[in-house]
Chains A and B, each alone.
Chain A
Amino acid sequence: DTEVTQTPKHLVMGMTNKKSLKCEQHMGHRAMYWYKQKAKKPPELMFVYSYEKLSINESVPSRFSPECPNSSLLNLHLHALQPEDSALYLCASSQVTVTGKLFFGSGTQLSVL
């Protein structure tokens, strides 16, 4: 199984809502990532988890709150988002020792109204 599964595939939320994005992998990878991709732009790194601990936060606003409850799951909690946060949110995983070979999910397309 070389799949990273993200749910939901599409999400529409208001600026006062709280929602969560979910990501799951069963490849035994101990590194997991959140990337953000605006329309017609390349993906940009948001967070890195290594062994279930947050190791990199790329100065992401606090309205984005990541969580790694176990080695297979990664969540991104969203609260009080702005319309400019509308984007494709991509989850990825990798072996900790081969840090350039990432497996990406298909992403969650988020629209903030």
Chain B
Amino acid sequence: DAKTTQPTSMDCAEGRAANLPCNHSTISGNEYVYWYRQIHSQGPQYIIHGLKNNETNEMASLIITEDRKSSTLILPHATLRDTAVYYCIVIAGGTSYGKLTFGQGTILTVHP
């Protein structure tokens, strides 16, 4: 699976949009981009995933560049409860048996 690079930490004001970048320049054509987050003392939580089109759900939006070498997770109106470690993971579809390789992630801190 392709390696991902994320900033170590980011800050965001409550109510503002949080934009979390991820670089995956070696991504292959059959690899998906997944985002998870982990709030302190809890298990990771799935947020969203995509292959090449932009995706949106009730939690977030995922913007993938046309060359697929990078992506951005957008939390449109961050709240204090969004403070967590955010992981960007690249995984091949179909045969990867849930073998998620977590990097160090981005620590997002949402301030009042």
Contacts and interface: CB of A to CB of B under 8 A. Distances in A.
Most buried by B among A33, A55, A100, A101: A100
Interface stretch (B9-17, B38-46, B72-80): B38-46
Contacts of B105: 42
B98 A99 contact: yes
Contact of B98 (A42, A44, A92): A92
A107 B98 contact: no
A107 B42 CA distance: 7
Describe B's contact surface by its main secondary structure. loop
Given A99-B94, A99-B95, A45 B100 contact: yes
Contacts of A105: 43
A102 B100 contact: yes
Most buried by A among B38, B96, B99: B99
Contact of B93 (A4, A33, A100, A104): A100
Contacts of A102: 44, 46, 98, 100
A31 interface: yes
A66 to B, nearest CB: 14
Interface residues of A, number: 24
Interface in A86-100: 90, 92, 94, 97, 99-100
A31 B87 contact: no
Nearest to A33: B98
B53 interface: no
B42 A106 contact: yes
14 contacts: A4-B43, A42-B102, A43-B44, A45-B98, A45-B99, A45-B101, A55-B97, A56-B99, A99-B97, A99-B99, A100-B89, A100-B93, A104-B43, A104-B44
Interface of B: 32, 34, 38, 41-46, 49, 87, 89, 91, 93-105
Interface of A: 4, 31, 33, 42-45, 48, 50, 55-56, 90, 92, 94, 97, 99-107
